[in-house]
Structure 1
């Protein structure tokens, strides 16, 4: 589904962020991208949708070469690539529903998006997605009234509203407490499994990556120095990626408590609230 061939990035300052990175991601496969700060993790995922322009190499999404696209072609291709951000990137004054519907901006004309006139099917899909991420009862809440975990759930629903072929996820748990972090990772992996959706997750928490993803790629100074299963991520491999350290605690997998976090539990579905919200949203069509 996604294929990188010899991807390199050198900034104007002469700093080399990526060197000859080649990898592929199959449908439904979720990859944890780990490495120290400055290893090139964020640069790599931003090169995929050309938020950062690669210096050399090729990027393919299916049969489409992303690196060979014009501005107009790139705009079309970006519809197929959902992005989930560390700091959520929500519009604080807009409601949960309006933020999710912004995932359709690449599909509607300027004036329809300006006046928030989205097609009925887009609104129905947004309701389904909000139910899936546990926010049916919060449709009309402003984004600035949500907890961190709830905001990240909105970001996930917004990315899925694009109906993407690929998810790029930049530090989705960095601003969250440990319990909520596990829930968000679990939600992302479950949704990717359900949809056969490939994803690359840039993540600093090695134990969390071990717990939830089946493939881990380690970057060091812009080069791939590890590509394997979580079980292969031993002290020697972590030393190769990060340098000398006592890794005994880091490679111990996080205990799974299987509970839902209290702060986000109020995001559960309430049928009568959802029905009222559906009536209010009719004005968007």
Structure 2
């Protein structure tokens, strides 16, 4: 369904983020992308929906060559790709229902969305989705009144309101506690099975990837160094992906310095998620920038 051939990304600084990526993702498969920070996981996801422009290669979604699209043709193709962000990218002052309905931007445009003029069938589907993700009681709550797990559920419902064929999921559990992380990954997995959706999930938690993905792809320095089933992910392969470590012991709690670093990374993702959502909204309204 999704095919990447010789995909590469080099930034104007000369830094190479991706090198000759070859991937085929069939319909209904949940694929986890793992690898150290800076390996190119988020860049790969953003190349697929063209939030980041690849500098070489081919990206095909079914029979559509995504790298050759622009303007309205690209806007229409993006309807088929729902994106779920690490930092949720919700509009805090809007209600849960209004945030979910923003998933219709690719269909109704910015101004109809701004004026809350949504088709009735879209509104009915939004109600059904909020029921499915476990938030029927929160329809009229403002987004800033929700917990992290609830906010991620809103983001999932918003992505599904696009009626996508493919989900692009960028670190959906990085800001969540372990129990909520498992619930969110289980929900994504179940929804993909129910709707025969393919998904690419960028995730740092190897244990969650093993538990909920059909396939794991490991990136290191912008190159694929592993592509296989979760059961094939051995300690030796983890060392190839991440570097030398004792993968059979329980990790020590993070110290304050590591916590500060994680907070900086979350802030960077929060900023990037906001930029991505604003750009998608602009493009949904017919603008290209």
Task: Look up the match of 2:131.
Answer: 131
Q: Report the CA distance between 1:109 and its aligned residue.
A: 3.9
Name the residue aligned to 1:48.
Answer: 48
TM-score (norm 2): 0.85
Q: What is the CA distance between 1:70 and its match in structure 2?
A: 1.7
Partner of 1:262: none
Structure 1 residue 249 displacement after superposition: 3.5
Aligned structure 1 segments of 4 or more residues deviating by more than 2 angstroms: none
- Map Cα deviations across residues 165-185 of structure 1 (whole Å, 9 max, x no partner): 100000000000000000000
1:67-146 superposed matches below 5 A: 67-146=67-146
What CA deviation, in whole Å up to 9, does each residue of 1:56-93 have, x standing for no partner? Answer: 00000000000011222111111110000000000000
Which residue of structure 2 aligns with residue 38 of structure 1? 38
Cα-to-partner distance string for 1:224-244 (whole Å, 9 max, x where unaligned): 000001111111100110111
Are 1:156 and 2:168 counterparts?
Answer: no
Instruction: Tell me the residue number matched to 1:234.
Output: 234
Q: Equivalent residue for 2:282? A: none
Find the aligned partners of 2:116 and 2:41 in 1 and give their Cα distance: 35
When residues 71 and 100 of structure 1 are mapped into structure 2, their CA distance, relative to the original with a 3 A threshold, is same
Note if contact 1:217-1:228 (Cα within 8 Å) is conserved in structure 2. yes
1:243: which partner in 2?
243
- Which whole-Å CA distance do the structure 2 matches of 1:24 and 1:72 have between them? 26
In 2: Cα distance, 1:239 partner to 1:73 partner: 42
Cα displacement string for residues 201-226 of structure 1 (whole angstroms, at most 9, x for unaligned residues):
00000011111112000001101000
Cα separation, 2, equivalents of 1:11 and 1:109? 31
CA distance in 2 between counterparts of 1:39 and 1:109 reads: 35
- Indicate how the Cα distance of structure 1 residues 144 and 187 shifts in structure 2: closer, same or farther if over 3 A, else same: same
Structure 1: how far apart are the matches of 2:26 and 2:213? 14
Unaligned regions of 5+ residues in structure 2, if any? 252-289
- The Cα shift of 1:106 comes to 1.1
1:176 aligns with 2:153: no
Partner-residue secondary structure (3-state), 1:117: coil
Which 5+ residue runs of structure 1 have no aligned equivalent? Answer: 252-285
Q: Over aligned residue pairs, what C-alpha RMSD do you find?
A: 1.1
SS of the equivalent of 1:201 reads strand
Shift of residue 250, structure 1, vs aligned partner: 6.8
Q: Measure how far apart 1:110 and its partner are.
A: 4.1
**CA apart distance, 1:105:** 0.9
| TM-score normalised by the chain length of structure 1 | 0.87
Answer whether contact 1:149 1:184 (CA < 8 A) is retained.
Answer: yes
- 1:214 aligned partner: 214
SS in 2 for 1:246: coil
